Every structure is written in structure tokens, then in C-alpha cells.
Amino acid sequence: MAYSLRTMMVNVNACRAAAVPGGFLPLLCVCLPLLEVLLLNLSVRELAILIPVILASLTVHELSHAVVSLALGDDTAKRAGRVTLNPLRHVDPFGFLLLVVAGFGWAKPVTFDRSKLSSPVRDEILVSFAGPASNLVLAFLGALAIRLIVSVSGTGTGIALEAAFIFCSINIVLAVFNALPVPPLDGSHLYMAYLSKRNPTAALALSRYGFLFLVVLIFAGRFTGVDLLPIRRITQTILTGMLRVVGV
């Protein structure tokens, strides 16, 4: 599954600047200073929070695909060792490195066998959207944490609040990004099964070039400064709504 860290940080930084001022936890990480000069221009402190948050969020995302697939009758993911909270089973080393260094990467995709699903078209959609749904659940838990921290501390600043805000924001971004209807993202499963039957040639072309199209959009948006994907606006809308629901 593909992800855009630049998109995550654009939204995190915008929301944090608007609502939660404060500093980051100054953790000492031996391997991170080199990343300061790379494309993302993130501080060591930001990366020290972002990396474990992203690892946890990606792990839950991919695990959710596997669990729902198993619940619907397909044990392919279980036999592949994907029904686990061990991030090493879900994170692709090269994809994760690119995510940190270049701002775009991927995790190991969870495979499933449609022939083992009781209702292949419906269940494929359920398996696919289990990942984004899990990130929205995590985001809401993050919003509750924000509410709790504000209630206990009585202030709108602090390290714990910063971390909770980043956790909430990044999970929303993961959900929104993966719900985009572009192969190989989860959102494409809404129509790919139907398209494969009606127009196999078009489905094959989308499967083959969808990833390239996505990469072009991401990097074109980065270098032109034009928001070609609606991720930022949707993320901020969802985040604002969640915070209002929990009373922040």
C-alpha cells in the first residue's frame, strides 16, 4: 500500500500551527540527523515522533486488511503471517526508507484469494476498506486523547498534546490517501472488480499504470505547489469534525 509522507506533514504542520502550539520531545536518534538535508526538511525531533507513529499506523492498517479477510473466510493473509501486530511483518524496508527519505513509499500489500470469499465483490470491498477504516478509528482515539490531555492539563500546549495531535492527523491522512480511487490504493477496489468484467483492457491498463499516475500527481503537486489531490482539504475537514465531536 502506497503512502505520501509529504502529504501527511503538510496537513500535520498546518493543523498544528492553527490549534496546538508547543515544542517536540527532543529524543536523541543516532540515525536521523542525516535526514535533515533530504527532501522532507523535517527536524530530528519531528522524525523522532513521526517514525513510531507511522510504524504503528501502517501496522494496524495492514493488520486490519488481514483480520477482515480471515473473518470473511480467506486464510491467505494468516498463512502469510500477516495477522500480527509485529511491524516487521507489514513494513517493506525499502518502501519505508523511501517514505522517510523521499516522502513517498509503501508497506507490504496484504494478499487475499477472492475465490475463498463468500461474496467476492462485496467482501473484496470490505477487506480493502478495512485499512482506511482502522486509521479513522485510530484517529478518533487520538482525538479522544487530545480531549483528555486538554482536560487534565488545562492548557493547549505540551509534548503529549503534540504527539496526540500528530497521531490523529497522520491517521486521517492515511485513511483519506488510501481511499483515493486510483490503483493500487484501497479505494480502487470499489470499481475494479466490476470494471474487470465489463472492460478487462481498461482494468488492466489502470492496474498497470495507476501507480505511475499516482506518483506523477504527487510529485507534480510537490514541485508546482498546486494541490492536485484533495487530501489536505478532506483531512482538515475530518480532523475539525472529530475535534468538535469530542469537545475540543
Active-site residue, 46 included: no
Going by the DSSP 8-state scheme, the letter that residue 107 receives in this structure is -
At residue 41, the pLDDT reads 60
**Which cell numbers hold the place of 245?**
465531536
At residue 199, the pLDDT reads 82
At residue 189, the pLDDT reads 84
At residue 27, the pLDDT reads 24
At residue 95, the pLDDT reads 81
189-to-127, 180, 181, 192 alpha-carbon distances in Å: 9, 10, 8, 5
- CA 78, 1, 181, 195 torsion-angle sign: negative
Q: What is the block-wise mean pLDDT of the chain (248 residues), using blocks of 10 residues?
A: 51 41 26 35 74 91 96 95 94 80 77 90 92 96 94 78 89 90 86 78 81 81 77 89 92
Number of domains the chain contains: 1
At residue 243, the pLDDT reads 93
Q: How many Å apart are CA 141 and CA 150, to the nearest integer?
A: 14
Range of the domain at 106: 2-246
Please write the tens of the pLDDT for every residue from 94-137. 888 777 666 667 789 899 998 999 898 899 999 999 999 999 99
At residue 18, the pLDDT reads 35
At residue 35, the pLDDT reads 32
At residue 87, the pLDDT reads 93
Catalytic residue, chosen from 46, 62, 124, 162, is 62
